[in-house]
Homo-oligomer: A and B are copies of this chain.
Amino acid sequence: MHDVIGLIGRRVRLGLVGGGPGSIIGETHRIAARLDGLIDIVAAASSSDPERSLRFAPLIGVAADRAYGSWREMMAAEARRPDRIDAVAVMTPNDSHADICLAALDAGLHVICDKPLTHDLASSRAVAARVMEKDAELCVTYCYIGYPMVRQARDMVRAGEIGTIRQVHLQYIQSHLAEHQLPGTWRMDPARSGGSLVLLDIGTHTLHLGAYVTGLDVTSLSADVGSAIPGRTVDDYVSALLRYENGARGSMWVTQAAAGAEHGLSFRIHGDKGGLEWYQEDPNRLIHRRLKDFERVITRRTSAPASPNAQRSSRIAMGHPEGYFEAFANLYAEFAESVARRIAGKPPAEGDDLMPRVSDGVKGLAFVEAATRSGKSGRWESVERA
């Protein structure tokens, strides 16, 4: 679906920062990078512990001479190689993203970075400025917008199939912080994860999903931010009333502490001609409610073609489910082709730009800060522009 080898005669060469032994997000990035055969993972500084980093590299197929003890070492050493990496993938704790991204950009590397872009709005703006200055590619892995049916929804909104957007409802309901005893990871340490765990971790995904599908930004909000578990000091719950730039009303319910939930990311959006509804746990179906006709269930099939961007984002059709890794891999494929086009001196691919970019990352942090303010003031607050 995406071309890299035809453009540059080889795969894109990627170096990993973070995602060491036992990291789920690390294995996810690697599967996503490998899946379409557009990228070779050739270098890695996968742990903040140099020994662990060096031991882990061969297990993920990285040659010994390109296993590094730190990301700084990797950037320096790779710069001297003729077959040096084209890009880095960043999957470290939130508070390190800004430094790594800035250094990578300065080293002439393109960047694919896990969300949130950084841990606060100021640093995210600094990264955005550097991306512009260096004219580099930076993809933020808001991975859920890689699902074909999310893109189908976006295409349908753009084509006016549900009319002017009037109501947006977003949910992200998880369970893993539902117990009183918390897992002792860096996420539970506010100093490492940033101000509000739930807002940074999944609130940013949720906001982006709504914006991606509707093409609209939230301009103000009234939020209830805190914990569903009495006595807990990190935030695990946010519910918010939203106002979108076109006047549409919205709301969201986002929590990591709903006992028994799984991974309930969803949207339900109504325009003046109909509505669209999607659930991440059942991602291959898009429900299309219509004012003057029966509900449709949109899936990828041959005889009733999905929208152009849904088709571009699918590897197979007719009832073969694609899942989380394919969604994530779509961002990697789009990033790889964008990088290859720059290497080849070619203009961006034709068609819509589907990849989440640095400005989407900055908007996430602006939302986090506005919601935090509103949670304290009990009033509506404006969201700063990216």
For residue A284, CB closer than 8 A to chain B, the reply is yes
Contacts of A270 in B (CB 8 A): 178, 228, 258-261
For residue A134, CB closer than 8 A to chain B, the reply is no
Residues A320 and B326 in contact, CB atoms below 8 Å apart = no
One complex includes copies of this chain to the number of: 4
- Among residues 95 to 139 in chain A, which have CB atoms less than 8 Å away from a CB atom of chain B? none
> Whole-angstrom distance from the CB of A120 to the nearest CB of chain B?
25
B171, B222, B257: the one contacting A241 at CB < 8 Å is B222
Residues B239 and A318 in contact, CB atoms below 8 Å apart = no
Residues B255 and A253 in contact, CB atoms below 8 Å apart = no
Residues A37 and B28 in contact, CB atoms below 8 Å apart = no
- Among residues 301 to 319 in chain A, which have CB atoms less than 8 Å away from a CB atom of chain B? 301-304, 315-316, 318-319
B36, B224, B275, B323: the one contacting A321 at CB < 8 Å is B323
Closest to A272 in B: B259
> Whole-angstrom distance from the CB of A96 to the nearest CB of chain B?
23
Closest to A30 in B: B37
B34, B294, B315, B379: the one contacting A299 at CB < 8 Å is B294
Residues B5 and A229 in contact, CB atoms below 8 Å apart = no
- A contacts with B, residue count (CB < 8 A): 98
Contacts of A59 in B (CB 8 A): 5-6
> Whole-angstrom distance from the CB of A56 to the nearest CB of chain B?
11
Contacts of A222 in B (CB 8 A): 222, 224, 241, 378
Residues A321 and B320 in contact, CB atoms below 8 Å apart = no
Residues A163 and B291 in contact, CB atoms below 8 Å apart = no
- Among residues 142 to 185 in chain A, which have CB atoms less than 8 Å away from a CB atom of chain B? 162-163, 166-167, 169, 171, 173-176, 178-180
Q: Residues 48-60 of chain A: 1 if any B CB is under 8 Å from the residue's CB, otherwise 0?
A: 0000000000111
Contacts of A226 in B (CB 8 A): 249
